[in-house]
Each structure stands twice: as structure tokens, then as C-alpha cells.
Amino acid sequence: MSNQHEDQARASIENAKSLVIDSIAETMDLYGVTRSAGNLYGTMYFEEDMTLDEMREKLGMSKPSMSTGVKKLQDYNIVKQTFRKGTRRQTFVAEKDFFQFFANFFSKMWIREAKINLGAIHKAQQELNELIEDPEVDEVLKNEAVLIDRQMEASKPYYHWLQKLVSSIESGEIFDVLPIEDEEK
Amino acid sequence: MSNQHEDQARASIENAKSLVIDSIAETMDLYGVTRSAGNLYGTMYFEEDMTLDEMREKLGMSKPSMSTGVKKLQDYNIVKQTFRKGTRRQTFVAEKDFFQFFANFFSKMWIREAKINLGAIHKAQQELNELIEDPEVDEVLKNEAVLIDRQMEASKPYYHWLQKLVSSIESGEIFDVLPIEDEEK
DNA sequence: AATTTTGTTAACAAAATATTTAACGTTTTT
DNA sequence: AAAAACGTTAAATATTTTGTTAACAAAATT
């Protein structure tokens, strides 16, 4: 059975994991993922597939919290539902390859960013152009509108570049350019 | 003086800007920047350098809010203090080149991520290794520790890759590989 | 030197967000 | 068919975050 050494050793292992789980949660926090979702991800990172009840137990939180937490992580594309045979419960597994994490997470963000902003720019430019083409409008104002229109236009290449960046991540092309190195000496 | 047409035209311009400011704030929100900081950035994006009072007036918020907001944006490296001669007030200007925004913002994040996690991994591995080298510890536990140690070790290349990515962004190298296109047809 | 001006800190209030408990609907087992 | 298991939704509660007002400290002007 358990002796003192064993208990202590087990505590050490848990502590080591906690250090990394906390830092994962902290960095995810940087990107706007709530601490508790980050904590859940970090926990799942060290586990195989988990049921909601297993998460609840590990984190000492309620089941609805786990349910919503997992959903959030699924939205970020970094947790997936799995099928564990023999149980009727849903099981979930965290993406453990951080390169894949990076790809899934940031691709999602950047695609969204491009879409939202290009959409807004489109609408804004429509409004500005109506004004620019209106012969009734004062020259000074027209000029102002033209400048703003240009500023918006000038930002478009950025969003297109983001889209290209995502493509190159999704195709894996980026890793030809910036290769993953096995280990630094 | 102001006539009806002019008022309406001015409102249109403001509305067009608002559309884009809101979408900038929304996308910044995606990355964990609070809505109000994003809003401030969006506002500054359409202005030259601004004093705290000018921001306060534009956003209809208090001065301390502007003070803390600007500080946050400075932390993200997307707003800088400038020197406007003739006034004793501090002035600030937003980074308007989104490529530079991208570079500043994500470089900061990724460097931080690499640092935090590599630090945690280092500590965690120390703890695990003590256990692994302790002859008193049970084989089963030792084995578990070895596996976790390996998992942590295996994640290091990712953080090193992040650092390389940052280098290639800061050197501009990434734009050789993924060129910015002037305009799509 | 006294008074303004400017920016920040501190204390407080308000609002937003997270989390829990309880209730519900669905599916599965007995 | 009844009971149990499971996940989600809804309502209530806690907690955190955000923003304001007021006090303060530093610097500059008069």
C-alpha cells in the first residue's frame, strides 16, 4: 500500500504538472481565453480522453462549468469529442500537439478578424462613397471622406495577408519556411 | 455655417468611422484586449496624436480611464507617446500600420508565452528528475514521471519555434516568404 | 512662493462575468 | 413502463472587472 515515500513522490508529480498547467492557463489568458478554460485545457493536456465527471473531479468544479468550459475549448478548436467504447458518457480530448494548437487557434482568430473587418470596411466605404458622389456635399467634407476612405482601403492588404498566412499555416507551408527544429544544442 | 446637408454628411462620416472602430474593438476583444481599450485604439487609429483630454472628449469617458487605457495599449506596444510642441500635455499616437501592429502585438505575446512556459517546464522537470533519480521511489511512479517528463520535453520545440517566428517577424523575413500583395484583382 | 495644470493613485460604485444549485428533457437501463 | 443516468438550460449568487469621483503628487506658470 501507500507509504510515505510514495505519497511524497505522487505529490511531486502533481506539483510538476500543476506548474505547467498554470503556465498554460496563464498564456491562454493572454489570448483572451478565461483562466478556468485555460486551466481545464491544461488539465486535459496531461490526460487521455475525459468525461465531464472526471473533469469535475480533477478541477473541483461543478458539472455545468465543465460543460460550458469544454464547449468554449471546442469553439477554439483545441478540444474534440471522442468516442470511448463501453461508456455512455461523452468523452473529450485536448489537442496535445502545440503546433496544431497554434494552427487551430490562431487560424480561427485571424479568419474571423479578416472577415469582421473587411465586412465593416465594405459597409463604411459604401457610406463614404455615397457622400463623395453627392454633388450637394461641401468640398471640405468630401475631402475628409476621401482621406478616410483611403485609409480604410490601405488596410485591406493586411487582412488579405492574414488570410494568406492562415492558408500557409493550414497547408503546412509555413513549416517549410520556418522549420521545426528537433532540439537546440 | 452648418446647413442640413452638412450635418447629415458629417454624421455619415462619423458613422462610417464607427463601423470600423467597432469592428477593430471586436477583433481586439478576440485577443483578450478589453472592449474599451480596443475602442480607444480604434478611435486613435483615425486621429493624429491625442491628449488624454481629447480622448476623454471623444469617448465620453473619464480621464483616469483614458490614462489606464492608454497605458494598456502602450503595454501591447501599439500606442506610443509623442511630443507635440506647444503643449505641456502628453500626447499619444496609435500604430496605424496594421502589419506593424501585428508584429508588435503578437511578438510580445509569443515571447511572453515562450518565456513563461519554458520557465515552468524547467522547474517541473527539475522536480520530476529528483524523483526519477531517487532510488527509494517505486518503479511505477518513476515510470509515470518519466512519461510526463518526456511530454514536457516534447513541447519545447514548439516554444523555440515561436521564438524563431518572432525573429522572422521582427526582421521582416516573414514578408519575403509571405509577401504583402498590393491589391487583389 | 502661491496657484494652476496635469497625470496618477485610491476608494468606491456599478456592471459584467463566472459559478453554482436546481430543474428539465432526453436517453438508457432494468 | 419506471427509474436512473447524463447533459444542458435557467435562475440565483459570487466574484471579478471596469469605471467614476475624489484626493494626491509633481511640475510649471504666474
Q: Which domain holds residue A123?
A: 99-177
Q: Which three cell numbers stand for residue A182?
A: 528537433
Residues B73 and B32 in one domain: yes
Name the pTM for this structure.
0.93
Cα–Cα distance, A40 to A25 (Å, whole number): 8
Question: Higher pLDDT residue, B183 or A44?
Answer: A44
Nearest to B169 by CA among A177, A96, A70, A156: A177
Q: Which residues contact B82 (CB under 8 A, 6 or more apart)?
A: B49, B91, B92, B93
Residues B76 and B144 in one domain: no
Residues A17 and A69 in one domain: yes
Nearest to B81 by CA among B93, B71, B73, B72: B93
Residue A5 contacts residue B136 (beta carbons within 8 Å): yes
Interface pTM, i.e. ipTM: 0.92
Best residue of A5, A6, A12, A156 to probe chain B, by most B CBs closer than 10 Å: A12
**Å from the A93 CA to the C27 C1':** 23
A117 contacts in chain B (CB < 8 Å): 20, 23-24, 27
pLDDT of residue B181 exceeding 90:
no
pLDDT of residue B126 exceeding 60:
yes
Domain count for chain A: 2
Residues B141 and B167 in one domain: yes
Q: Do A120 and B23 touch (CB under 8 A)?
A: yes
pLDDT in 10s for each residue of chain A, 185 residues: 567 778 889 999 999 999 999 999 999 999 999 999 999 999 999 999 999 999 999 999 999 999 999 999 999 999 999 988 888 899 999 999 999 999 999 999 999 999 999 999 999 999 999 999 999 999 999 999 999 999 999 999 999 999 999 999 999 999 999 999 876 44
Taken as a whole, chain A contains a residue count of: 185
Average pLDDT over residues B107-126: 97
Cα–Cα distance, B118 to B1 (Å, whole number): 63
**Å from the B75 CA to the C13 C1':** 27
> B13 in a domain, yes or no?
yes
Sheet of A91-94, strands arranged across? A50-51, A91-94, A79-82
Best residue of B100, B106, B158 to probe chain A, by most A CBs closer than 10 Å: B158
pLDDT at B183: 60
Reduce the secondary structure of B57-116 to three states and give it as a string.
HHHCCCHHHHHHHHHHHHHCCCEEEECCCCCCCCEEEECCCHHHHHHHHHHHHHHHHHHH
Structural element, H or E, at residue A79: strand A79-82
Residues B75 and B89 in one domain: yes
Residues A149 and A91 in one domain: no
Average pLDDT over residues B117-132: 97
Residue B116 contacts residue A30 (beta carbons within 8 Å): no
Residue A27 contacts residue B119 (beta carbons within 8 Å): no
Residues A127 and A152 in one domain: yes
Q: Which of A75, A95, A115 is the last residue of a domain?
A: A95
pLDDT at A37: 97
**Å from the A33 CA to the C17 C1':** 13
Residues A49 and A124 in one domain: no
Helix (H, G, I), strand (E, B) or coil at A54: helix
